[in-house]
Chain A
Amino acid sequence: MVSSTIFAAEKEIKIGVIYPLSGALATIGRDLQRAAELTADELVNNKNPNVDTLMAKWGGIPSLGGAKIKLIFADSRGEPDRGADLAKRLILDDKVVGLMGAYQSAVTKTVSAVAERYGIPMINDSSTSPDLTRRGFKWFWRTTPHDEYFDKDLFELLKGLTEGKVKGVKTVPKDQLKNLTYACENTEWGSSVAKDLERFAKEYGFNIVKGLLYSANAPDLTSEAQAVVAAKPDSMLFASYLSDSILMIRTLKGMKASPHLFWGQDAGFEMADFPRMLGADTNGVLTRTVFIAKLAKVKKVAGQINELYKKKYGDDLTGATARSVVGVQTWAYVLNRAASTDPKALQKACNEIDIPGYELVMPWDGIKFDATGQNIKGRGLIGQYQWKEGKAELEIIYPFDLASANMIYPFPGWK
């Protein structure tokens, strides 16, 4: 860790980034770290001719005399208390001007609490628990849409199907979609998703025939899968991290389950390991996400940034990694607007900022925070894995105006 001298403070601006770099989530943590570093180096600190954003022409924060952003990473191991300690260390010892992170909502809670106590702005890029922006914090802003948006998107898609809005699918009579089941893991995230699903189902006039919570990474999900199948649903909805999502698919395949629609709420379903491990079995599976490489078709910038990342690390950007790109982008803009590293100025900047959509890797209308600190211009995507010549492509299905391929409907089931 570089000690902070006055000189350094002028020339480089330290942002503390807390991710789970070791422990069970080390893989995703590593990807997030890569994405953040890449953004800082290639989009903010140095000019980059082959990306058409204004930011790429900056080469440092203009209003601060081209000062560079320096990201200081810290490893939360996914433990809330450790996260809190690191936040203190970053603020007091490393004298960072702001914080970013921390992926798991639980860790974000403690970290943001520290930031609030010390009056240091924290921009959260990737935690989707709705509660986070309902605590009346004055130093906490979130760029990503939260779970409620995503869960609503699903029902918009269902509605779309019944109205024939979906690309390549004829209007589906509602009674073929009416009955839903969900299985969510009983973490904070899963249980709040479950709550939303119940609520929106009523709102949109669907009917949940069976809903269950199950203990995260249990050694066996047979009984859960049976309960779901036994309810004979038209659509199966899931909120699971990677381990469970894979096991669930395997188990359901074993039971020859074949609903019309199969939707996963991000997390496991969206990670790169998911298609890598299940291969053809993912064909037709829907997942909510915020970024899909296919966006390149409809949004040039997205393609260019994705290329940068792919060139360096081999994988496409995923929802998670793309979000940490946006996180850093947002920080750059906030700093530029504040034209200072003073917390009050940054707070003001955060509250006023309005980043145009074309600057972002995401298909969003931009970034503008409401009173609670939630970005109101974000939107989610729903993608579908489609098995084409030996590899699973994630195609955009929703929003309808961004659809990149015909939706496979009904869910083909497993051979």
Chain B
Amino acid sequence: METLKDAFDFSDFSRIERIILVLFSIFLLVFPWLGFGSFVKTVMIYFLLFSLFGMGWNTIGGYGGQVELGKAQYVGIGAYTVALLMVWWRIPFWVSMPIGVLIAIGYSFIIGYPLFRLKGHYFAIATICTSLVLQDIFINWKLVGAAKGIELPIRDHPDFLYMQFKSDTYYFYFIMALFYAALFYMNWFRKSRLGYQLRMIKDDEEAAESLGIDARWCKIKAYSIASAFVAVGGGFLAVYNLYIDPYSVMDLDLSIKIALMAMLGGAASMWGPIIGAAFLIPLDRFLGSWLGAQKGLIGVDFMIYAAMIMAVSAYQPRGIWGIIEQFRKRGA
């Protein structure tokens, strides 16, 4: 009960923030009916998906302050579970997705236990390595389609059980639902005991230990929460693209992108991951489609993209949200 109250209670945010949140929600609700083209729609879908990823990463990476660069492996686990169960035994999405999440959580505990012996850069690189190892295994593992990847059978009629629709509108509302679930969860999480303890660990791990906090265990818990979030997104990717292969769902780039969303938007803040995604995804997609096909401009879109990343991380390490707050303080 109290939990729910916390989850829906945004009262500790400033008035403006709450107003913007409401307006934004209304916008999302009516978005599909504003007559945007399908390209904009897909961009929106990816924006929501990556804010979901980002929020997940934020638990361990933001509040916990652990630089975690291996999330792609959990996207992979989520996506592959959904795809394989559907191909092998025709198991519907609504069953396979939770299974995927459970597997992801289990795996995250197995990996997390040794992983959190490490700190700082050793930890960061190690997370990358674990993800790469899993990717290589999947690339060569015949049973899961190896490098071929897996195609989900297309059903002739739209099918809610298997989350197959013709129009992106349905996918949009589905991912939007997930997005809000994540949002409310995070709103609870940041006020939860674990949330406080993680922030303490981030501030001063030694002191945290002296306050009866089992730092390693807290990190592992946060890590598996993050993994669960990401696995959900992975499952969505599988049914959305109807094709997955280790290169697209388990790649290092994906891991980094996920962390980048949260970090660039503002790690350890409620809105950070969302802002980050709202900034990076459209930038990437639109630049790509405008400049990508232009002859003689190959690579320019990436250069702009990269320049933005450098600029933000150099100017304000706390990301875009940091910049916003900075100006607010000045204003106040």
Consider the complex of A and B and state whether they touch directly, i.e. have CB atoms less than 8 Å apart: yes
Q: Which residues from chain A sit less than 8 Å from chain B, CB to CB? A: 21-22, 26, 30, 33, 73-75, 77, 79-82, 84-86, 88-89, 91-93, 106, 109-110, 113, 116-118, 129, 131, 135, 186-188, 190-192, 213, 215
A56 to chain B, nearest CB (A): 26
Those 4 A-B pairs whose CB atoms lie nearest each other, nearest first: A75-B292, A92-B38, A93-B37, A89-B39
A299 to chain B, nearest CB (A): 31
Known: A88-B168, A89-B39, A191-B148. A75 touches B288 (CB 8 A): yes
Q: In the complex, which residue of chain A has the Cβ closest to the Cβ of B136?
A: A215
- B151 near A135: Cβ-Cβ < 8 Å: yes
A88 to chain B, nearest CB (A): 5
Q: Which of B139, B154, B288 has the most chain A CB atoms closer than 10 A to its own CB?
A: B288
- B154 near A88: Cβ-Cβ < 8 Å: no
Query: Can you identify 22 A-B contacts, CB atoms within 8 angstroms?
Result: A21-B292, A22-B292, A22-B299, A22-B302, A33-B295, A73-B293, A75-B292, A80-B245, A81-B241, A82-B288, A88-B42, A88-B168, A89-B38, A92-B38, A93-B37, A106-B245, A113-B151, A131-B148, A186-B146, A187-B147, A188-B146, A188-B149
Candidates B42, B247, B298, B302; contact of A106 at CB < 8 Å: B247
CB neighbours (8 Å) of B285 from chain A are 85
Q: In the complex, which residue of chain A has the Cβ closest to the Cβ of B292?
A: A75
Question: How many residues in B have their beta carbons less than 8 Å from beta carbons of A?
Answer: 32
CB neighbours (8 Å) of B293 from chain A are 21, 73-75
CB neighbours (8 Å) of B241 from chain A are 80-81, 84, 110, 113
Known: A80-B241, A89-B37, A92-B37. A109 touches B151 (CB 8 A): yes
Known: A106-B245, A117-B166. A77 touches B148 (CB 8 A): no
Q: Does any Cβ of A come within 8 Å of B237's Cβ?
A: yes
Q: For the complex, what is the distance from the CA of A215 to the CA of B293, rounded to whole Å? A: 30
Q: In the complex, which residue of chain A has the Cβ closest to the Cβ of B158?
A: A117
Q: For the complex, what is the distance from the CA of A118 to the CA of B166, rounded to whole Å? A: 7
- B147 near A186: Cβ-Cβ < 8 Å: yes
Q: For the complex, what is the distance from the CA of A191 to the CA of B320, rounded to whole Å? A: 45
Q: For the complex, what is the distance from the CA of A62 to the CA of B38, rounded to whole Å? A: 33
Interface of B, helix, strand, loop or mixed by DSSP:
helix
Q: Which of B236-251 contact A (CB under 8 A)?
A: 237, 241-243, 245, 247-248
Q: Does any Cβ of A come within 8 Å of B140's Cβ?
A: yes
Known: A26-B298, A113-B151. A86 touches B289 (CB 8 A): yes
A136 to chain B, nearest CB (A): 9
A109 to chain B, nearest CB (A): 5
Q: In the complex, which residue of chain B has the Cβ closest to the Cβ of A116?
A: B154
Known: A79-B248, A80-B245, A93-B37. A188 touches B292 (CB 8 A): no
Q: For the complex, what is the distance from the CA of A75 to the CA of B27, rounded to whole Å? A: 30
Q: For the complex, what is the distance from the CA of A93 to the CA of B139, rounded to whole Å? A: 35
- B151 near A186: Cβ-Cβ < 8 Å: no
Q: For the complex, what is the distance from the CA of A140 to the CA of B46, rounded to whole Å? A: 27
Known: A88-B38, A118-B166, A186-B140. A77 touches B289 (CB 8 A): no
Q: Does any Cβ of A come within 8 Å of B68's Cβ?
A: no
B136 to chain A, nearest CB (A): 7
Known: A21-B292, A21-B293. A106 touches B38 (CB 8 A): no
CB neighbours (8 Å) of B242 from chain A are 84, 110, 113
A326 to chain B, nearest CB (A): 22
Q: Which of B141-179 contact A (CB under 8 A)?
A: 146-149, 151, 154, 166, 168
CB neighbours (8 Å) of A106 from chain B are 149, 243, 245, 247-248
- A117 near B154: Cβ-Cβ < 8 Å: yes
Known: A22-B299, A110-B241, A113-B154. A81 touches B149 (CB 8 A): no
B11 to chain A, nearest CB (A): 39
- B147 near A188: Cβ-Cβ < 8 Å: yes
Q: For the complex, what is the distance from the CA of A86 to the CA of B43, rounded to whole Å? A: 11
Q: For the complex, what is the distance from the CA of A135 to the CA of B151, rounded to whole Å? A: 9
CB neighbours (8 Å) of B148 from chain A are 129, 131, 188, 191-192
CB 8 Å contact bits of B284-312 with A (1 = contact, 0 = none):
01001100110100110110000000000
